Amino acid sequence: MTPTPSPPLPDEDAVTGLLRGVIDPELGSDIVDLGMVKAVDIVADGTVTVTVALTTAGCPLRAQIQRDIRTRVGSLDGVSDVQLTWTEMDKEDKARTMERARANAQGESPDTQVPATTRVVAVASGKGGVGKSSVTANLATALAARGLSVGVLDADIWGFSIPRMLGIDGRMSGDPEGGRITPHELAVGDGHLHVVSMGFLVDDEGSALMWRGLMLNRAVQHFLEDVAWPRDLDYLIIDMPPGTGDVQMGLARMMPRAEMVIVTTPAKGAQKVAVRAADMARRSHLRVAGVIENMSAFICDHGDTYALFGSGGGEQLAHDAGIPLLGSIPLESAVGQGGDDGAPIALDDGPAAEAFRALAETVATEAIPPIEMQGCTAHILDAVNTAVSAATDTAGTDDQSPVAGEGQPVQIG
Ligand SMILES: Nc1ncnc2c1ncn2[C@@H]1O[C@H](COP(=O)(O)OP(=O)(O)O)[C@@H](O)[C@H]1O
Ligand SMILES: [Mg+2]
């Protein structure tokens, strides 16, 4: 009998490359850059052991860092198991790491304007029309109603619908002092929405804009880099364009810490397309946090349910892709109506509204909880940030245009 050949072992550089996508949200950089990765050991059976030094052993972010390392390194060919060993930094190490964090906070490394303590959630799907934008608008609203600060980035540059769904009319204003775009702000319960969309930069939803691939990415990059996102932003929910193209790749590069949620309909077969989105996320080493099934069984006024678009698709996708099902949103005309009226139904009564609130609860308490700023080195970094922004507020920059200078959208049709 010939033994089955085992896949080649991953090399250390590949593992380290992936670890660069693991961010210590408190220190504002990746764990390699911060000197937290002390060793990477690869043994013949494909087990990879990563040794990580924390600033304090009781760091509350440990679980998150562990999960990130597991998902990323585990996605590499030839890896059979990922083990973590934790150590605590000595005084010197800690000083060096804090120095690095301070340098990052002062903007020495080019980074996005999205705070390191913001959880970035990209809402994606294999194809259009499955309800990404409806899910984005309602999930963001339900999260804000929990008292959170929630950003919404409409990255569907061609097919933007977020301004209409959230009932925001108008243009984005640049901040004449700092040259940054100020997101539209909406108060929701005890929380806030901070919204940015291509729709605020063009005249009407119907105008057919064609952004070349590069421009498209540039627009999203612009929204990540040049928008004055609030410093206390808990979530940034990104409404992705359909498919698995340039924007997804660009996001993975610009925001390796972004996590994807995949929206699918319950129809068998729909998840084939959705699986592609999940594969794509994995290939670019983004964590896929879960599946949301939309347009699930329709519940009539008498309480009877009708599975108009089939059933079990979300469950199936979650199972096939090995990720949790975060929620199922029933098909209900009020969802579409709320979208057209600019009043997301997430705060109303009814099965779909309740499902959106349940989804927000799962996201906020289990799947993608906000980053707690207590413990670790958080307050030190906070103090640094405050000092830095006080210093830079007076300095300013000279870029005042709301759209990045190079190139203009090409009008077609
Ligand atoms: N749960 C739902 N029940 C009823 N209609 C829905 C539901 N989710 C979305 N829709 C409707 O389906 C259409 C497509 O939704 P949309 O959120 O724009 O999808 P996408 O952003 O994926 O293209 C819209 O008209 C929307 O109002
Ligand atoms: Mg959409």
**Which pLDDT does position 343 carry in this prediction?**
95
**Which pLDDT does position 171 carry in this prediction?**
65
Residue minimizing CA distance to atom 23 of ligand 1? 129
Q: Helix, strand or coil for residue 45?
A: coil
Q: Which ligand is nearest to the CA of 263?
A: 1
Asked if 195 contacts 168 with a C-beta cutoff of 8 angstroms, the reply is yes
- Whether 339 shows a pLDDT value over 90: the answer reads yes
How would DSSP label each residue in 335-358?
A: HHHHHHHT--GGGSSSHHHHHHHH
- Give mean pLDDT, residues 340-368: 94
- Whether 203 shows a pLDDT value over 80: the answer reads no
- Whether 156 shows a pLDDT value over 90: the answer reads no
Residue 336 Cβ inside 6 Å of ligand 1? The answer reads: yes
Q: Which ligand is nearest to the CA of 155?
A: 2
Residue 128 Cβ inside 6 Å of ligand 1? The answer reads: yes
**Which pLDDT does position 394 carry in this prediction?**
53
Span 230-280, pLDDT tens digits: 988 999 999 998 876 778 878 877 887 788 999 998 887 777 777 777 777
- Model confidence, pTM: 0.73
How far is C-alpha 157 from the chain's CA centre? Answer: 17
**Which pLDDT does position 206 carry in this prediction?**
46
- For residues 30 and 410, which has the higher predicted lDDT (pLDDT)? 30
Say which residues have a Cβ less than 8 Å from residue 412's Cβ, sequence separation at least 6: 208, 209, 210
Say which residues have a Cβ less than 8 Å from residue 206's Cβ, sequence separation at least 6: none
Confidence of residue 409 (pLDDT cuts 50, 70, 90): very low
Residue minimizing CA distance to atom 14 of ligand 1? 129
Phi and psi (nearest 5°) for 234? Answer: -80, -45
Q: For residue 244, count other CB atoms closer than 10 A to its CB.
A: 22
Report the side by side order of strands in the sheet with 81-88.
37-42, 47-54, 81-88
Residue 270 Cβ inside 6 Å of ligand 1? The answer reads: no
Asked if 346 contacts 141 with a C-beta cutoff of 8 angstroms, the reply is yes
131 CA from centroid of ligand 1 (Å): 4
Residue 131 Cβ inside 6 Å of ligand 1? The answer reads: yes
- Give mean pLDDT, residues 207-233: 70
**Which pLDDT does position 372 carry in this prediction?**
66
Atom of ligand 1 nearest to the CA of 333: 4
- For residues 234 and 312, which has the higher predicted lDDT (pLDDT)? 234
- Give mean pLDDT, residues 318-324: 80
- Per cent of the chain over pLDDT 70 is 74
Q: Helix, strand or coil for residue 42?
A: strand
Span 41-69, pLDDT tens digits: 999 999 999 999 988 777 777 888 898 89
- For residues 310 and 162, which has the higher predicted lDDT (pLDDT)? 162
3-state secondary structure 298-331: EECCCCCEECCCCCCHHHHHHHHHCCCEEEEEEC
- The number of residues making up the chain comes to 413
- Class of 119-367 in CATH: alpha beta
Residue minimizing CA distance to atom 17 of ligand 1? 131
96 CA from centroid of ligand 1 (Å): 50
373 CA from centroid of ligand 1 (Å): 35
For residue 271, with 0-12 CB atoms within 10 Å meaning exposed, 13-18 middle and 19 or more buried, which class applies?
Answer: buried
158 CA from centroid of ligand 2 (Å): 9
Atom of ligand 1 nearest to the CA of 136: 17
Q: Where are the domains of the chain?
A: 12-105, 119-367
Atom of ligand 1 nearest to the CA of 352: 1
Q: Across the chain, what does the average pLDDT equal?
A: 79
- Whether 392 shows a pLDDT value over 70: the answer reads no
Residue 136 Cβ inside 6 Å of ligand 1? The answer reads: no
Closest CA to 355 of 373, 336, 332: 332
- Token representation of residue 361: 């609860």
12-105 placed in CATH 3.30.300.130:
yes
Residue 130 Cβ inside 6 Å of ligand 1? The answer reads: yes
Span 96-143, pLDDT tens digits: 888 877 776 665 434 568 887 789 999 998 788 899 999 999 999 999
Site to probe by mutation for ligand 1, drawn from 134, 165, 197, 264 as the one with most ligand atoms within 8 Å of Cβ, is 134
Pairing of strands 287-296, 37-42: unpaired
Across 81-90, 320-329, 370-379, 391-400, the highest mean pLDDT is recorded for 81-90
